[in-house]
């Protein structure tokens, strides 16, 4: 059995920007403190929701370094260091390790994609370059490729490949993954609308967008599931289902940053090419936020 990085709810934290597009580090500190105060079990920094694709390499490492320093071991910090260039992923991963991150989140190569053998060699090369535990990130809707179950099982034999963020969206895939890998690979839900079903199959928690706006409630959902209280966990899953859907009504993180701004966190805009929400979608999101008492 490998060391479990966290159980429960890790927030896929937004990266706040000033109006001019620069990183707002004062606001990032505020978000980190608020998340920890409201029950978040771990922080994912510079992932997809953190707009890693439009951070420069220098900004990417600086944001991770700042988050590690400010968090100061209160909860694990998981650094998003994936890239479609293996050498870039290795460089970012080494820098995150030097900064003191607790683990790495590594998305599959995108656009150029690769074969399953190439995928195995990509992750193996990164794993051999660091000592930190690695979470594979399987999100074919964004990258155009899937880590097949057989490939995941091979990767699980590597000592510091510890987990997968499963955002495939297919419960049968999740079941096959957990059956094939057993205790050699922890699984986390990568979809907020499937937290409880995946945990019922053995997932250890979620890496969550919802946690940006409802950290305590997302933690409580996972805590109930971990305790075997699936009646309570399922009730929370269903209670927030329409809000979850509203948070993905447009490309993530457009809606969640809009939600954070609407409820008063002032995290700024997304970087282009992500653009402001369509008014009809904003109205749907605002209605869900009001329904849950997040806006007056």
Residue 217 predicted with pLDDT over 70: yes
Q: Which two tokens stand for residue 125?
A: 């090369």
pTM score, whole prediction: 0.97
> Which residue of the set 137, 173, 188, 240 is catalytic?
137
Q: Cis peptide before 273, with omega less than 30 degrees from 0?
A: yes
Q: Which of 37, 85, 15, 33 is nearest to 219 (CA)?
A: 37
Taking only the tens place, the pLDDT of each residue in 63-103 is: 999 999 999 999 999 999 999 999 999 999 999 999 999 99
Residue with tokens 């690769």: 114
CA 273, 276, 280, 285 torsion: positive or negative?
Answer: positive
**Nearest-angstrom CA–CA distance, 216 and 150:** 36
**What does the pLDDT average to over 245-261?**
98
The 3-class SS string of 16-66 reads CECCCCCECHHHHHHHHHHHHHCCCCEEEECCCCCCHHHCCHHHHHHHHHH
The C-alpha atoms of residue 111 and residue 115 are separated, in whole angstroms, by: 12
Ramachandran angles phi, psi of 205, nearest 5°: 155, -150
Which pLDDT band holds residue 180 (cuts at 50, 70, 90)? very high
Is residue 137 part of the annotated active site? The answer reads yes
Distance CA 217, CA 254 (A): 22
Q: List the catalytic residue out of 165, 173, 188, 204.
A: 165
User: Is 165 an active-site residue?
Assistant: yes
Task: Please state the domain extents for the chain.
Answer: 8-227
pLDDT in tens, 135-172: 999 999 999 999 999 999 999 999 999 999 999 999 99
Secondary-structure class of domain 8-227 per CATH: alpha beta
In this predicted model, what pLDDT tens digit does every residue of 7-59 receive, in sequence order?
999 999 999 999 999 999 999 999 999 999 999 999 999 999 999 999 999 99
**In the numeric block, which tokens belong to residue 267?**
């995290």
Residue 1 pLDDT greater than 80, yes or no? no
Q: Which of 89, 165, 171, 167 is nearest to 130 (CA)?
A: 89
Mean pLDDT of the chain: 97
Q: What is the pLDDT of residue 295?
A: 86
What's the average model confidence in pLDDT over 123-135? 98
Contacts of 236 (CB under 8 A, 6+ apart): 196, 217, 220, 221, 224
Check whether 293 has a pLDDT greater than 80. Answer: yes
Helix axes 116-129, 86-99, angle to 10 degrees: 30
* pLDDT > 70 fraction of the chain, expressed in percent and rounded: 99
Closest CA to 190 of 81, 44, 51, 63: 44
Supply the pLDDT for residue 206. Answer: 98
pLDDT of 3 above 90? no
């Amino acid at each position: 059995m490998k060391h479990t990085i966290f159980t429960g709810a890790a927030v896929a934290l937004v990266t706040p920007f000033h109006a001019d597009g620069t990183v707002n580090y004062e606001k990032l500190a505020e978000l980190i403190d608020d998340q920890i105060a409201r029950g978040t079990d771990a922080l994912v920094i510079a992932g997809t929701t953190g707009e890693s694709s439009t951070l420069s390499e220098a900004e990417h490492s600086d944001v991770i370094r700042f988050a590690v320093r400010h968090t100061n071991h209160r909860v694990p910090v998981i650094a998003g260091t994936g890239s479609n260039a293996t050498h870039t992923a290795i460089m970012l991963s080494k820098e995150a390790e030097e900064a003191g991150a607790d683990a790495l989140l590594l998305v599959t190569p995108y656009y150029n994609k690769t074969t399953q053998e190439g995928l195995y060699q990509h992750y193996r090369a990164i794993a051999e370059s660091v000592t930190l535990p690695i979470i594979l990130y399987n999100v074919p809707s964004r990258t155009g490729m899937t880590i097949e179950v057989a490939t995941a099982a091979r990767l699980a034999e590597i000592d510091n490949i510890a987990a997968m963020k499963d955002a495939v969206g297919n419960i049968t895939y999740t079941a096959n993954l957990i059956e094939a890998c057993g205790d050699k690979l922890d699984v986390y839900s990568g979809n907020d609308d499937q937290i409880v079903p995946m945990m019922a199959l053995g997932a250890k928690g979620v890496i969550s967008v919802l946690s940006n706006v409802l950290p305590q409630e997302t933690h409580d959902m996972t805590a109930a599931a971990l305790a075997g209280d699936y009646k309570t966990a399922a009730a929370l899953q269903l209670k927030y289902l329409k809000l979850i859907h509203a948070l993905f009504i447009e490309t993530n993180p457009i809606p969640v940053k809009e939600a954070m701004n609407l409820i008063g966190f002032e995290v700024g805009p997304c970087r282009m090419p992500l653009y402001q929400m369509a008014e009809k979608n904003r109205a749907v999101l605002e209605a869900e936020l009001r329904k849950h008492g997040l806006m007056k």
